[in-house]
Amino acid sequence: MDFLEITNLNISYPTRRLLVAAVQDVSFSVRKGEILGLVGESGSGKSTIGRAILGLLDEPGKIEGGTIQLENHDLADPATEISSFRGKRIGLIFQDPQTSLNPVMTIGEQLIETIQTHLQLDANEARKRAVALLDDVGIINADARFNDYPHQFSGGMRQRVVIALALCADPDILIADEPTTALDVSIQSQILALLQKLKADRNLAVILITHDMAVISEVADRVVVLKDGRIVEMGAPAAVLGTPSQTYTKSLVSSVPPTDRRIDRFPIMGAEQNHAADHNLKILNRWQLQKNTGASLVRVEALSKSFSSEGFMRIGTNEPVHAVRNVSFEIREGESFGLVGESGSGKSTIAKMIVRLIEPTSGAIFFEQDDITTLDGPALLAFRRKIQMVFQDPYSSLNGRMKIKNIIAEPILHHNARLERADIDHYVDDLLAAVDLPASSKERYPHEFSGGQRQRISIARALATQPKLLVCDEPTSALDVSIQAQILNLLKDLQEKLGLTILFISHDLPVVRQMCDRIAVLKDGAVCEIAAAEQLFASPEHSYSQHLLNSMPKFQP
Amino acid sequence: MQSVGVMLCVALLSFSLFNFVGDPINNMVGEETSTEERAELRETLGLNDPIHIQFGRFVVNAAQFNFGKSYQLRRPVSELIAERMPATLELVIASSILALGFGVFLGVYTGINRTGVLSNIILFVSLAGVSLPTFVIGILFIYIFAVILGVLPSFGRGEVVQIGFWSTGLLTASGLKALILPSLTLSLFQMTYIIRLVRAEIMEILQTDYIKFARARGISNRSIYFGHALRNSLIPVVTIAGINIGTLVAFSIITETVFQWPGMGFLFIQAVKFVDIPIMSAYLVFIALVFVAINFIVDILYFLIDPRLRTKSENRDG
């Protein structure tokens, strides 16, 4: 018998109108010293299973049937005193290290409290144990940092502290719910290595919950693929992800952007492929298409931006933060230019300066030969019409109280107020068609749409002014991989048909490889390397680019 | 710096009281005073000087707590205020302790037991606390506890003990008894606010990841509620409570009137009746000073409660 065995687990969320079955007939088991990957898209029930094991389902979720057998205890049985397992036998860590730690307690306090909850130790012994744990998870200088607050640690260090907290009482099982999703790739590879080391050193059973196929294929010993609360397939990662037997797994695997080559389009399973953009030609009637000459559209020269911290009763020195230092590059008409870097590299700041949402500290930005940093009045308005932005978070970038038609019509009215009402209606229809949304969407509100659909609405809104340059700031990083594939296909089609130039900002290297012609690699606000995409991935020159590419999890089905 | 600006604005306001609410000379002297005498008095009081010089003098005097003499009582205003201040401050402090203590405790309780019967009762009663005006509650309390039950006095401070310039009612049984009704009346309104605020905060914080993570580590409920959750909910509570203690001082006017409490609010109401402008302007400046001082303390408390404010924000989005 395996260490933890889940048999025929059923979990449902009763709502007023209907019973939502979140998990149906799920059975799997975990051994000690093994990493089991639970993989699936949002709504697949993977996190629900993780929480159910610890009896931490959100209201009104309920285990309807099945067993969760740990040695001779059934954790699914309401009679089991499940709180005595939390932390002691089973540790659980969450996705976002920024929010997993109590911000007003030092990490030492939190560790000691947890240790003393489970073990009979006095303050001194507990402290010793805590420092040893911090050492184990790779916190440098653990003793000195003991009384630091969570905000004084970087994201990766915080996730290490979180792992130390979960290991306080030497649990036998660690459930890691998307432990690296909020982290940069180089930090991600360190945390994954740490999980593997802990698994081996402590003979730990690890349940790794993630949407990231590449992470699973790198570290998991076995994988369970979930869809809509049911198990689709399970087995060794090489078999399941390499030669999937189920259609769903096949389509999931094919949506993952390959790391080792560039493909033309993502194959979308089930849907008719490559039907792309025959019907979206309607907006072309309004589009003043020009031949892309390959001349420079945007030229950034010695751009810098520093933020100085200010505020009442600031303690400490007011050293300005240099977010962008002396950055120069050029975007040619019709190309996709990628800005790649980890968090804090200044990539979003550069994008915001190019669309003039913030002002640069020094340097110049030329758009079609005009220095846009000095534009104002009508000239600025005309410039804004030619450059549009698609934001990362489709949930906060659409005004929830406006109908879709008003959201899309707003930029049209703003830039061309003389259009007839009926004409605008037609235009909105055409734009919706261009992003593959039905015309009936326009009478609805943003909350009625899924993340992918909302991102399509954002794109339609951006196209409304017939821009030349589309700035996409992490447009797919909040989306599931199959939706991401659709959105990336859409962007590629639109670019081809409409002759768009795209500035594509992302931390996700495989995505950038699929999307961009040329790529600038950023680190700490400065450019390390600018190269053609394939050249960069084949033979990166700068040491930081090499480091980034090495830490990228390779997905090789 | 801001506080100095605020104080100057308030000083200007209270200074203009002198000049625009009636003629100060008329207020000071009797009807039989001759025009020459009036002019002379005007000259000696410096009322013929340009406005900005008069204002400068007012600010300098006010900074030394010199607000002149009360028209009605013929005594220096600073002396009157010093006499009445202890009564008001004791009342305000007692009621803020009540409001904070009960408010936070009941807020946490109702935040945790969202659907319990007791929670609903507390919330219902506290709703009554905001809906009923202070004077109605005060009179109701007097009726119940003083008239019907006869257990608590209905007015005054009871016996007071003089410690230096400070007269305190906290050391005698009758003084303490006399404090109960007015401080309860005064605190009820604020208590309601604090209950609802803490409740909303606690409910929000219990949804956060770090509470879920603490649960997953097996931390006990008691420690989660009163250690982790409460400490995080205190930040907005301190802001509101700070502003509210200021309003308590201001609100005490009504309560002091209802209970005939010999504090500054009572003094102020009497001053209004007799157009006793020095007292009114001094009261105005004093209240402003209280607000400014409390805001300053609140800012310092932020730093103590929230470690994130102590160091510079380090993480900026790229």
Give B13 to chain A, closest Cα distance, Å: 27
Helix segments in A203-246, DSSP class H: 213-219, 237-242
Tens of pLDDT along A171-188?
999 999 988 887 888 888
Nearest to A506 by CA among A543, A472, A536, A545: A472
CA dist., res. B234 & res. B306, Å (int): 9
Give B262 to chain A, closest Cα distance, Å: 39
Q: Search chain A and give the residue with CA nearest B215.
A: A86
**Mutation for testing the A interface, residue in B1, B114, B210 having most A CBs under 10 Å:** B210
Tens of pLDDT along B14-24?
777 766 666 66
Model confidence band, residue B29 (pLDDT cutoffs 50, 70, 90): low
CA dist., res. A41 & res. A251, Å (int): 12
Report pLDDT for B21. Answer: 63
Average pLDDT across chain B, whole number: 81
Average pLDDT over residues A198-204: 92
Average pLDDT across chain A, whole number: 87
Its CATH architecture, for the domain B77-317, is Orthogonal Bundle (1.10)
Q: Look at A309 and B313 and tell me if their CB atoms are within 8 Å.
A: yes
Task: For residue B216, give the nearest of A92, A347, A348 by CB distance.
Answer: A92
Which residues of chain B have a CB within 8 Å of the CB of A321?
Answer: 316
Residue A191 has pLDDT above 50, yes or no: yes
Buried b (16+ CB within 10 A) or exposed e, B217-226: bbbeeeebbe
CA dist., res. B228 & res. B42, Å (int): 64
Report pLDDT for A557. Answer: 61
CA dist., res. B207 & res. B225, Å (int): 12
* A327 shares contact with chain B (CB less than 8 Å): no
* Percent of chain B surpassing pLDDT 90: 1
Residue pointed to by tokens 């105005």 = B284
* A54 shares contact with chain B (CB less than 8 Å): yes
Residue type, A419: L
CA dist., res. B233 & res. B225, Å (int): 10
* A315 shares contact with chain B (CB less than 8 Å): yes
Tens of pLDDT along A23-46?
999 999 999 999 999 998 888 889
Q: Look at B316 and A315 and tell me if their CB atoms are within 8 Å.
A: no
Report pLDDT for A313. Answer: 45
Report pLDDT for A309. Answer: 58
For CATH 1.10.3720.10, the residue range(s) in chain B are 77-317
Report pLDDT for B314. Answer: 41
Q: Give the DSSP letter of residue A63.
A: E
Task: For residue B220, give the nearest of A85, A88, A117 by CB distance.
Answer: A117
Tens of pLDDT along A235-267?
999 899 888 889 889 888 888 888 888 888 887
Average pLDDT over residues B37-50: 74
Report pLDDT for A270. Answer: 53
Q: A163 is written with which tokens?
A: 């792992």
Q: Look at B210 and A101 and tell me if their CB atoms are within 8 Å.
A: yes
Query: Do B298 and B239 touch, CB atoms closer than 8 A?
Result: yes
Task: For residue A94, give the nearest of B212, B223, B303 by CB distance.
Answer: B212
Average pLDDT over residues B41-53: 74
Residue A318 has pLDDT above 70, yes or no: no
Return the number of CB contacts < 8 Å for A and B: 114
Average pLDDT over residues B255-265: 85
Task: For residue A87, give the nearest of B218, B228, B311 by CB distance.
Answer: B218
Give B170-179's long-range contacts (Cβ < 8 A, gap of 24+).
B170/B90, B177/B152, B177/B153, B178/B152, B178/B153, B179/B90, B179/B91, B179/B94
Report pLDDT for B22. Answer: 63
CA dist., res. B203 & res. A309, Å (int): 33
**Measured distance between the N- and C-terminal CA atoms of chain B, rounded to whole angstroms:** 34
Predicted complex ipTM = 0.76
Nearest to A32 by CA among A8, A5, A66: A5
Residue A145 has pLDDT above 60, yes or no: yes
Task: For residue A343, give the nearest of B216, B217, B317 by CB distance.
Answer: B317
**Rg (chain A; Cα; Å):** 26
Helix segments in A336-403, DSSP class H: 347-354, 377-386
Q: A541 is written with which tokens?
A: 């020159």
DSSP secondary structure of A237-253 = HHHHHHS--SHHHHHHH
Note the pTM of the prediction, 2 decimals.
Answer: 0.79
Query: Do A124 and A108 touch, CB atoms closer than 8 A?
Result: no
Q: A290 is written with which tokens?
A: 């020009």
The most confident of A277-281, A358-362, B252-256, by mean pLDDT: A358-362
Tens of pLDDT along B170-217?
778 888 888 888 888 888 888 888 888 899 999 889 888 899 899 899
Report pLDDT for A281. Answer: 63
Neighbours of A450 (CB within 10 A): 14
Q: Which chain A residues in 122-181 lie under 8 Å from chain B, judged by CB atoms?
A: 149, 151-152, 154-155, 162, 165-166, 168-169
